[in-house]
Structure formats: C-alpha cells, structure tokens
Chains A and B, each alone.
Chain A
Amino acid sequence: MKRFVSIWFPHLLTDWLVIRKPELKGRVFVFTEPIHGKVMITAASRDAETNGIFAGTPLADAKAIVPGIQVFDDQPELARKVLTRIGKWAIRFTPIVAIDLPNGIILDSSGCSHLWGGEKGYLKMILERLRESGYSCHAAISDTIGTSWAIARFGSVSPIINENQQYNAILNLPPIALRIDEATTQRLHKLGLDKIGKFIQMPRSVLRRRFGEEFLLKLGQALGTEEETIKPLIVVPPYEERLPCLEPIRTKPAIEIAIQKLLESLCSRLSSEGLGIRYAELKGYRLDGKLTQVHIGTNQSTHHVSHLCKLFELKIAAIEPALGIELFILTATKVEPVSIYQEKLWNGKPGLADKGLAQLLDRLGGKIGLEAIKRYIPAAHYWPERSLRRAASLEEQTETTWQIANPRPMELLARPEPIKVTAPIPDYPPMNFRYKDELHTVKKADGPERIEREWWMDKGEHRDYYILEDEKGRRYWVFRSGHYNDEKSQWFIHGFFA
C-alpha cells in the first residue's frame, strides 16, 4: 500500500525571509505583485494575518489597516525555488519527493516510516526538523495524495489517516479541501453543500452534470479510486541503496561499516542481475543540511564487495562528517554486465583480462585518478601525433593495426624542436645538423618518408621525415617542414631511435 505525506507551509515565503533576515521576526510585512495595475499582496507574514491582512488583499487596504507595513517585491518562481530546496533536503526521509505549488511538498513515504519508528515518529521527526529551521508547517499522512493534502490543510483531528480510512477522514472537511477551483467551491457553498460529507453520497452522474469531470477526478483522487502520480524532484536511479542512521555518524570505523553494509546489499542485487559497478557515488546527508560525497570508478565492472570496499576506503579521508551524517546513499551511477570469470583448466594468457590487474588499476585510480592511467590503441592516421589514441577501457580493441611499414622512434618529443641543418641537395638527407649546441655529422640516413598533413583536420605544410645516424651511432628522427627551399627550409628534430 502506498502512503503519502503532504506538508503544508502556510507562511512559506515569509518564513523563508525571516530565516534570512531574523530582524523581521514578529513584524508585519507582505510580499506584493502588481496584478492588472493594482498592487496585490501575494504572501503575508504571520503577524500580518493576525491583523486581517491575507494574500489577495490589495496593498492599499493593508496600508490602511497597518500604516507601517513593510513591503517586499515578490519574485516569480521564488516559491518554487524555496520548495525545491526544502524538497531536496527532505530526500533524507524518502527517495521520492515532489513539490506541490504554491506552498507544499509531497513525500512518497511508502516503506520508509518504519525506519523512524512508525508513522508517528516519522511525521514528528520531519515537522520538528522543519520547525527548528524556522518554517511553520502542517503535515498529514494517508493512502492518497488528495487526502493527505486535505488533512494537512483542513484536518483538525489526527494527521495520521489509517489505511483505507480516507472516506471517513474527509467527511467533515469543506469542499475546497478537494483541491477544486474557486468557482466550483462557491457554487457548492451556494447550494448549502459546505461539507464533503453532504455530497459524497450523491450519484456520480448528478455530480458530473453539475460540477464537471474535473470535480469527480479530484474526489476520486482523494478517496483513492483514481490514480494520481507525482513528479519526483530527483528521479531515483535504479541502483541505489540508502542507510539512515539512528545516531549521526562521525567516526571512520562507523563510516566503514556503513559502506560495507550498503555495498553488501547493492552488490547482492547487482550480482543476481549479472551486473557490476563501473562508477559509484556515496552521498552523506549531514546533520547541518549539507551534503558530502565521494565517488569511485573501476576499470572492469565488478560486484566484489571487499574490492569495492577497498576503493572506498581510499576515499574515506575525503568525507567530512562535521556534526555527523544521518543518511548514506550509495548509487551505482554506471553499471555494466559483469564478464563472468572462468577458472581455466590450462593457464592461458590472461593478459589485460587478469583480475589482479583490474583490481590494481582500480586501486591506483582511486589514489591518483583514472585520468593518469592510459592505454593506447592505433588510430587510422599517418600523422605521428595522431597515430594513436587512448583506449576507453581495458577491453577496447580496434580493427586498425599499428603502422609497421616504416620505423618509428622510441622517444618522441612532445613538440618538434627546430634544428639547423646543412642540406645542400634537394630531397637528400642533411649532411650535418646542430641540435642543442652540438654538431652531429650524419653518417647514415634513411628517407625521406613524406607524411602529408590531413587537410580536413588542420592546415600547414607536409613533413619529410629522415632517419639520421651520426658519427657516434646516435639515431634521430628529423623532418623538413614543407618542400625543399634552400636556405629557408625549416628543419625539426622530432624523436630518437633506439
């Protein structure tokens, strides 16, 4: 059975402002907005309401009642922003939270409340925490969003509506509690139907003719005969585990236990589906409302608890518990099918598929960052700098093969360095060259090997590469940029051969 909590903030905007500007506490102030050339009040503080100033009153009237009234401009979308922030905070109580404009939020608390010792403790905890932070609020819990909404705003008996008790709960509420529009409400009142109980028994056809389909839908949603869906603030990822803590957690061993527990439950789920973690994120919701998070990545998808634990252990130092963490959420942000490791009868060539290697790289990646770990595969380019590219994973292969027709130097300079050469005959290797103030006399040479620039990628001259060996047997890779042009030819050294 689904259970929903509706929380109503009767003074959402004014409470929000009081939290930011404590000097406004106990003062009469309002938010206003010009509507049709008339300045109307959109939200009034608690003290303004005791003076008879409500949302919807023209500002001029309010000024007549309380001459020293303080006025603030209402910003569009302000309520949405504030509710979104409260909603995100409330994710510690349930993964599914939706905002309910203009002044409420809805929590899908199905299966969550027992963690706070039942629905009573659950509601009390939420309301206490909200009130502590300065919001006045009311809440109710029931099987439907409609009933929770109605009871939170208009209920006077108990905020907890037991299962399947929606019908009895809303009997004594005014029709506006059904979330219907102003016109319908007024018509109902005119007809003397000032309580839901007075018309709930009427035949549906009669109600539909008088008040429309929308009215019946809202009534059905309150009673639970019609479906109602909410749009979660944050969509719950499919692979997520939560661990609320009875006492706020501050110590390293306790965090380790939390990680261990979360991983155990997440991994048992993943392994039953044949999946493993590639990236995972651990979030800690702190007592002070802030969020601390760390993430890990693996080179091969895995659901090996102790290995993942080790990866997180390297990151524990980055978790700041401050006053304490009250909720841990572990999310597998990227999962991939696990390649099942088969014990081989004859030891073959494990190579890169070796399990120990993958675990080593995960450990290294956790400490030095996965960016630092590289593996190269050939790319279909002749241009030396582009002839290879980083592989995305340990398994990645390409159809392209390495160019082996021409030798390549063992060491390649990150950027070719200009050298001075003596090259008297066009397209012949140089006779000598000067590199780092040393004159090298060329004894043996190979080349040229012309490598054209890929004009669709960048512009510039082609390169004519030569392999040169000097009198001491040192081997170099040099090139002339562009065609031979006597004195003006530009020569560069690009690498060293073994």
Chain B
Amino acid sequence: MTSDQKETLQQLQKQILEMQGFKPALPGNAEGFGLGPLEHCFPNAVFPVGTIHEFLTDNPEEAAASDGFIAGLLAKLMETGNACLWISRNRKLFPPAMQSFGVMPEQIIFIDLYREKEILWVMEEALKCEGLAAVIAELPDIDFAQSRRLQLAVEKSHVTGMLLRKEPKRLSATACTVRWHVKPQPSEMMEGMPGVGHPRWEVNLLKVRNGHTGSFLLEWAEDHFAPFAATEPIVEHTKQAV
C-alpha cells in the first residue's frame, strides 16, 4: 500500500465514522465529557453523542450506579438547555437526586409505561425529535432489529439515546455503539475523615464500535468526572473487530 492509498483509506474511514455519527471534537466543545483516559477508547477520542448507548446492570445497586453515571453524562448533554426524556417501567429513579449531578430534575420528562412495545415506540418517536438532549429508556431486553431502528432514528436527529438494561435476560448483539457496565466502588474520604465520600465507579466498556474496550475507575467530584487511583485502564486495550 502506498502512502497515497493509505491516506485515501484513512479519509474514507473518517467519512464512514462521520456518517455513523462519530464527529471529531467540535471546537467549542473541546473539553469533552471529562472522562479522562476513557475517552481515548472512542473513535477520534470523542464521546459519541447522537448514537445509542446501552448500560447493563445486574442488581439494584449497579442500577443506581448507572443512573448516577448517566446523570453525570446528562449534565454535559443538557448544557445546551434542551430537555431529556426518561422512559421507564416501574421507575425507581428519584428525581431530586439528579440535582447532585448537575441536572435540573424539572428539565426531565418522565414517561411511565407498562408495555415493552410502547416503550420502544415512544423511544423511537422521541429520538426523532431534535429538540431533546437525550432519551433514556429502561428496557431490559432488546433485539438487534429493534436497536437498529433506534440507531437509524438517531442518525438523522443526533439525539443521544441510552438504554438502561436492568437485569437483562439474554445478551444478544445489538446495534448500539457502546455497551457500558458501571459498578459501584468504595468511596474515599479525604485524610481518613469519617463518612461516605463522592460516588466512585468502575466503568467497564464492554463494546465500542470502531474503538477499544477497557475498564476505568471514575469518581464524581462535586460537578465533574475525575479518574482516580489507577489512571491506566485495568484491562489491557483490546482492539475489537469493527
């Protein structure tokens, strides 16, 4: 391969990435999500907005950790002033808690439904609406075709979709861009002070389309994410097949 061909190939790859919703960092948004080394796992080292993310949780404690992590992401996504939609069945999320992650609870519209079909319909409709910052749906199971529909919806509108899969029954392939698994980690107080410190999580990237997987330790410090202890990922980077 000559250098010319290589360059063309890179250009094309970049174009494909852009078509799939991975945009290079915008000049005004240079600081990103402040996720630290985690962001280098994503294509172009930019947190992919305008795509579908899925969060796996195995128990209520992890669900709460995922909620918190999502709230931290929402704080950034909703900086534009747009509202977000939270669709759920048996919602346990306690809106006042969003405040500690820099999200105004009154900016979130909750939709409580019972039927899976309705949740999917509402999510797809909502993802088509450009006036929203993000759409979060609590849905344990989703198949490939359904997730593909959601992905197609966001490719047009550039709304970020998040699927919170609480205790999923089966883990089949989905069209989601990133698969997360957030686990709570013991908190740390300054200089051995008593009490419970800032929330800390072990954030696992189980799948990143066109990126790397990895595991990271993150803390929510007052109003931003902060990596702690090990700055290097625990698990070695592994290149995943595209």
A474 and B189 in contact, given A374-B109, A375-B109, A375-B110 (Cβ under 8 angstroms): no
A412 and B94 in contact, given A355-B131, A367-B121 (Cβ under 8 angstroms): yes
Instruction: Pick from B63, B186, B197 the residue with the most CB of A within 10 Å.
Output: B186
Contacts of A374 in B (CB 8 A): 109-112
Distance to closest chain B CB from A370 (angstroms): 11
Instruction: Tell me if A377 is interfacial: C-beta within 8 Å of chain B.
Output: yes
Q: Is the beta-carbon distance between A411 and B92 smaller than 8 angstroms?
A: yes
Contacts of B93 in A (CB 8 A): 410-412
Q: Is the beta-carbon distance between B64 and A410 smaller than 8 angstroms?
A: yes
- Interface-lining segment among A53-61, A160-168, A399-407: A399-407
Q: Is the beta-carbon distance between A473 and B81 smaller than 8 angstroms?
A: no
User: How many angstroms between the C-alpha atoms of A445 and B195 in the bound complex?
Assistant: 5
- Interface-lining segment among A3-11, A136-144, A344-352: A344-352
Contacts of B201 in A (CB 8 A): 498
Distance to closest chain A CB from B80 (angstroms): 7
Instruction: Tell me if A234 is interfacial: C-beta within 8 Å of chain B.
Output: no
Q: Is the beta-carbon distance between A378 and B71 smaller than 8 angstroms?
A: no
- Interface-lining segment among B16-24, B95-103, B226-234: B95-103
Q: Is the beta-carbon distance between B96 and A408 smaller than 8 angstroms?
A: yes
Instruction: Tell me if B145 is interfacial: C-beta within 8 Å of chain A.
Output: no
Q: Is the beta-carbon distance between B111 and A387 smaller than 8 angstroms?
A: no
Q: Is the beta-carbon distance between B110 and A376 smaller than 8 angstroms?
A: yes
**What count of chain A residues pass the 8 Å CB interface test?**
55
Contact of B132 among A348, A357, A391 (CB under 8 A): A357
- Interface-lining segment among A80-88, A182-190, A358-366: A358-366
Q: Is the beta-carbon distance between B71 and A410 smaller than 8 angstroms?
A: yes
Q: Report the nearest B residue to A438, measured CB to CB.
A: B59
Instruction: Tell me if A497 is interfacial: C-beta within 8 Å of chain B.
Output: yes
Instruction: Pick from B82, B97, B187, B195 the residue with the most CB of A within 10 Å.
Output: B97
- Interface-lining segment among B4-12, B46-54, B122-130: B122-130
Instruction: Tell me if A279 is interfacial: C-beta within 8 Å of chain B.
Output: no
User: How many angstroms between the C-alpha atoms of A445 and B197 in the bound complex?
Assistant: 9
Contact of B196 among A350, A351, A364, A469 (CB under 8 A): A469
Contacts of A318 in B (CB 8 A): none
Contacts of A413 in B (CB 8 A): 92
Residue positions of A touching B, CB distance < 8 A: 348-352, 354-357, 360-361, 363-364, 367-368, 372-378, 384, 387-388, 391, 397, 402-404, 407-414, 443-446, 467-469, 471-476, 495-498
A-B contact pairs, 18 of them (CB 8 A): A350-B81, A356-B130, A357-B131, A364-B111, A373-B111, A374-B112, A397-B106, A410-B68, A411-B92, A445-B194, A469-B187, A473-B187, A474-B61, A475-B61, A495-B64, A495-B94, A498-B65, A498-B184
Residue positions of B touching A, CB distance < 8 A: 60-61, 63-65, 67-69, 71, 80-83, 90, 92-97, 99-101, 105-113, 118, 121-122, 125-126, 129-132, 183-187, 189, 194-197, 199-201, 220
